[in-house]
Amino acid sequence: MRRLLLLIILVALGAFAWTHRDRIRQRLPGAAIAEGSEPVELQPSAELADIAGAKLENLKKGRAESATFHSTELQSLLQFRFVQLLPAFVDSPRVELRNGELEVKARVPADRLPSISGLGVAAAFLPDTTDVSMTGRLLRLDNGRVALSIQDVKAAHIPLPQRLIPSALQRMGRRDEAG
């Protein structure tokens, strides 16, 4: 009789766990990283930068065809691994993911923006230090590197004309890649 009662309890616990598996999975430590979801409590950290760096390394070495990142992993990479690649005048860089596109935001002195006169009357509305955002997609390059293909640049929510984007990127030290 005891064994039958124990079996019924185990079956009931198993059924409960199966029907609530998504809730249980969300509460397990490390589950958010493994599942690619992004709970609010995750903050950028050196550990997340290491995890994202390992994913990039797997892409680079050909051990993986693709990788999935969440914005906190990319923010961690930016803060803990790549911040030295940005010019010194770039302040408060942030990374956000939206609909498969990557948006990099930062605060930049307006005098560092290319050809302010090319913005016309809109340049008069820019503060001394303005919010700049670049929207693009991550691309895998042939030589095992990853590039950010820039599609849109905005200063203080004002889109920069397409003709100004290449010079803006050059002033930041970036260059075109073949292909």
Contacts 24+ apart (CB under 8 A), 110-116: 110/155, 112/87, 112/171, 113/155, 113/160, 113/168, 114/164, 114/167, 114/168, 114/171, 115/164, 115/167
pLDDT for 40 beyond 60: no
- Of the listed ranges 1-15, 116-130, 138-152, the least confidently predicted one is 116-130
The rounded distance, in Å, linking the Cα atoms of 174 and 151 is 15
| Structure-token match 């605060």, residue found | 107
Pairwise pLDDT comparison (20 vs 115), residue with the higher score:
20
Q: pLDDT at position 11, please?
A: 75
Q: Identify the three-state secondary structure at position 175.
A: coil
pLDDT for 31 beyond 80: no
Give residue-wise pLDDT tens across range 161-176.
777 667 666 665 666 6
Q: How many other C-beta atoms can be found within 10 angstroms of the C-beta atom of residue 77?
A: 22
The whole-chain average pLDDT of the chain stands at 76
Give residue-wise pLDDT tens across range 87-111.
888 889 998 888 878 898 999 887 7
Pairwise pLDDT comparison (113 vs 128), residue with the higher score:
128
Query: In 3D, which of 145, 120, 125, 147 has the Cα closest to residue 136?
Result: 147
Query: In 3D, which of 59, 56, 17, 51 has the Cα closest to residue 34?
Result: 51
Global pTM value: 0.60
* CA–CA–CA angle 110, 116, 118 (5° rounding): 155
Contacts 24+ apart (CB under 8 A), 164-169: 164/114, 164/115, 164/118, 164/119, 167/114, 167/115, 168/113, 168/114
Q: pLDDT at position 51, please?
A: 92
**Which positions ≥6 away from 88 have C-beta within 8 Å?**
none
**Which positions ≥6 away from 71 have C-beta within 8 Å?**
38, 95, 96, 97
